[in-house]
């Protein structure tokens, strides 16, 4: 359906693609992977026709419809979310617009003389609208928006008042309703809560067109894709299978390449040693000459590309008392909405509690109450003895000084730390080379989140409260974070929609429901096994 034929692309002085080729066939669901900045979004834009390759061709079969969801959703205002989503339904939305115009024309007394022609056209357009399933479109649009977490009021309200994250969902809904032959989805899992994520997973698994997507959520990707295309060093490499298989295969390939490289290096060293030893002897001239020629003809094996992942040994957290946080009889309302009524909760040392609950259940409110960022209307919230608190919230990224560099920010926070130690810390969180000199204001959301996390974990607290710490983080950084937090000996209370993160780190689940808090011993994996669902809003 789509072919990339030896494409070359340069962004400024940087070569993004060098004679790269790949294909997307009918029914394939492909995960596009590669380090940040490798060119994933550029590839999407070229397939969608928004950018041209400098060399080679992007070939799309005639008649193939392409729907492209990107993080850049543009302006939206003045219409309802339903109308905005229906607008993306391709031909049927154009027919609906003409139908509305003809209805207005029929009611216009000034066009009474054209009524016969208008009625005839209306009949034709109406049957075309029925043929395209137009009358079911409103229902289908609402179904998609419901799956993406919208309430009825939000569906019918002005899309302009929604936050950026909800506008992203509207833009995604537009592509899903369109059901094109090929869907290009650039990070569709961003900004989604667990319920919406699982709904989208099921929707895409049942989609019968072709799909090319990126995602920082490995679990999500794993359940949908049947092929991986990796971008690395300007080259595209295809792997059959899911993300898990790709990781194993890549590790195996690297191992083989390393062994091959080392064997060849040993052989070359031996040959060069012979040449050096005998080049001055006339009796060995022929042998030396033949070996020099042999070396010139050998295809050199490249060493495997080193994946940049820096391990960092975090200092142990100081010990706290056994009772870390106690909430007793807590009541909390926002306006006329009751969030908690008589909430009792005790968080004990070394518990890693993940908080689950549908949108609006009060997950972030619970975290804010515990850290003292908001007060209960009545009842008490008490932190235990020797508790040293670390709180990660999305707004923490807004508190970074935009004029300071990454390294300057770390130095300000830890003036007594050595340069080498801070550089290792920066490297562990993905800031390598010149990146440490970048000012905070030019950093992406993901990089700001990584910097805030580095500031929090260098001198670790013994009670970590984390609100969506994995938002914006790529798969490699999440793995590093899971590694760092696995060996953390303190207590954790956290909210995340990343199932891999939940399963790897939790040993207790707090599920917030309308009839109170349900506690589950054991982590997220045990919770799923016991309840039979992956998120509180989904059953069965």
Tens-place pLDDT, residues 435-449 = 999 999 999 888 898
Strand 227-232, strand 210-214: pairing: unpaired
Tell me the pLDDT of the chain averaged across its residues: 90
The helix/strand/coil state of 112 is: helix
Residue 306 has what pLDDT?
59
Put simply, whether the predicted model's pTM sits higher than 0.95 gets the answer no
Beta bridge partners, 184, equal 68, 212
d(CA 356, CA 498): 12
pLDDT (tens digit per residue) in 320-376: 999 999 999 999 998 888 899 999 999 999 999 999 998 888 999 999 999 999 999
The pLDDT of residue 13 is 83
Enclosing H/E stretch for 2 = strand 2-11
pLDDT computed for residue 251 by the predictor = 87
**Which H or E run contains 15?**
strand 14-24
| pLDDT tier for residue 309 given thresholds of 50, 70 and 90 | low
| pLDDT for res 495 | 95
For residue 315, the 8-state DSSP code is P
Q: Are strands 337-348 and 323-334 parallel, antiparallel or unpaired?
A: antiparallel
The b-or-e profile of 360-398 (16+ CB within 10 A means b, else e) is ebbbbbbbbbbbeeeebeebebebbeebbbbbbbbebbe
Distance CA 37, CA 21 (A): 19
The stretch 66-93 carries a mean pLDDT of 83
- DSSP letters along 322-386, please? SEEEEEEEEEEEETTEEEEEEEEEEEETT-EEEEE--TTSSHHHHHHHHHTSS--SEEEEEE-TT
Q: Is the pLDDT assigned to residue 511 strictly greater than 60?
A: yes
The burial of 49, by beta-carbon neighbours within 10 Å (0-12 exposed, 13-18 middle, 19 or more buried), is given as exposed
| H/E run at residue 212 | strand 210-214
DSSP per position, 153-207: HHHHSBGGGS-HHHHHHHHHHHHHHH--SEEEEESTTTT--HHHHHHHHHHHHT-
Q: What's the CA gap between 460 and 317, in Å, rounded?
A: 5
Q: What is the pLDDT of residue 210?
A: 96
pLDDT at 307: 58
Is pLDDT at 143 greater than 80 in this prediction?
A: yes
Q: What percent of the chain stands above pLDDT 70?
A: 98
Structure tokens at 454: 């580095």
Q: Give the pLDDT band (50/70/90) at residue 4.
A: very high
Provide the pLDDT for residue 514. 81
**Beta-ladder partners of 346:** 326
- Range 155-183 average pLDDT: 91
Using the predicted structure, report yes or no on whether residue 73 has a pLDDT greater than 70.
yes
The confidence score (pLDDT) of residue 437 equals 94
Mean pLDDT within 51-55? 94
Nearest residue to 353 (alpha-carbon basis) of 496, 500, 498, 513: 496
CA dihedral 364, 191, 425, 476 (to 10 degrees): 130
Q: How far apart are CA 471 and CA 512, in angstroms?
A: 21
Tens of pLDDT, residues 197-247: 999 999 999 999 999 999 999 999 999 999 999 998 889 999 999 999 998
pLDDT at residue 302, rounded to an integer: 84
Q: Is the pLDDT of residue 399 over 70?
A: yes
pLDDT at residue 414 greater than cutoff 90: yes
Residue 313 has pLDDT above 80, yes or no: no
Predicted confidence at residue 179, as pLDDT, reads 86
């Amino acid at each position: 359906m789509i072919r990339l034929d030896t494409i070359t692309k340069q962004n400024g002085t940087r070569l993004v693609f060098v004679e790269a080729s790949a294909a997307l066939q009918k029914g394939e669901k492909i995960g596009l992977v590669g380090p940040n900045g490798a060119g994933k979004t550029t590839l999407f834009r070229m397939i969608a026709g928004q950018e041209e390759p400098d060399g080679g061709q992007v070939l799309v079969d005639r008649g193939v419809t392409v729907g492209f969801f990107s993080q850049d959703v543009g302006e939206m205002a003045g219409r309802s979310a339903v109308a905005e989503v229906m607008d993306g339904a391709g031909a049927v939305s154009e027919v609906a617009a003409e139908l509305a115009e003809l209805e207005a024309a029929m009611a216009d007394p000034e066009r009474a003389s054209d009524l016969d022609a208008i009625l005839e056209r209306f009949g034709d357009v109406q049957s075309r609208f029925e043929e395209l399933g137009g009358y079911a479109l409103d229902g289908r649009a609402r179904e998609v928006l419901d799956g993406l977490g919208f309430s009825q009021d939000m569906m019918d309200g002005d899309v302009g008042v929604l936050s950026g994250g909800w506008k992203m969902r509207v833009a995604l809904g537009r592509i899903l309703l369109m059901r094109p032959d090929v869907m290009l989805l650039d990070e569709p899992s961003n900004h989604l809560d667990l319920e919406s994520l699982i709904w989208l997973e099921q929707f895409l698994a049942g989609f019968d067109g072709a799909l090319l997507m990126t995602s920082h959520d490995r679990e999500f990707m794993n359940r949908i894709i049947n092929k991986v295309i990796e971008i690395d060093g300007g080259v595209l490499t295809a792997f059959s299978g899911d993300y898990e298989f790709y990781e194993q295969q890549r590790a195996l390939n690297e191992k083989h390449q390393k062994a091959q490289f080392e064997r060849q290096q040993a052989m070359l060293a031996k040959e060069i040693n012979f040449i050096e030893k005998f080049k001055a002897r006339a009796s060995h001239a022929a042998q030396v000459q033949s070996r020099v020629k042999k070396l010139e003809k050998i295809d050199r094996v490249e060493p495997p590309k080193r994946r940049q992942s820096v391990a960092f040994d975090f200092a142990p957290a100081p010990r706290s008392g056994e009772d870390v946080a106690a909430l007793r009889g807590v009541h909390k309302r926002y306006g006329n909405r009751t969030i908690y009524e008589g909430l009792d909760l005790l968080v004990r040392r070394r518990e890693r509690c993940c908080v689950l609950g549908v949108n609006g259940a009060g997950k972030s409110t619970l975290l804010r109450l515990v850290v003292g960022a908001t007060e209960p209307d009545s009842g008490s919230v008490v932190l235990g003895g020797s508790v040293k608190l670390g709180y990660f919230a999305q707004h923490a990224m807004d508190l970074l000084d935009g004029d300071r560099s990454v390294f300057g920010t770390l130095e300000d926070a830890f003036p007594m730390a050595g340069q080498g130690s801070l550089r290792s810390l920066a490297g562990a969180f993905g800031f390598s080379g010149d990146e440490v000199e970048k000012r905070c204001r030019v950093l992406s959301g993901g990089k700001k989140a990584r910097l805030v996390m580095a500031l929090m974990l260098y001198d670790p607290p013994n009670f970590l409260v984390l609100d969506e710490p994995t938002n914006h983080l790529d798969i490699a950084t999440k793995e590093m974070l899971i590694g760092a937090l696995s060996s953390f000996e303190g207590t954790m209370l956290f909210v995340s929609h990343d199932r891999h993160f939940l399963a790897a780190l939790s040993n207790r689940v707090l599920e917030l429901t309308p009839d109170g808090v349900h506690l589950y011993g054991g982590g997220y994996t045990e919770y799923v096994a016991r309840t039979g669902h992956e998120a509180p809003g989904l059953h069965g």
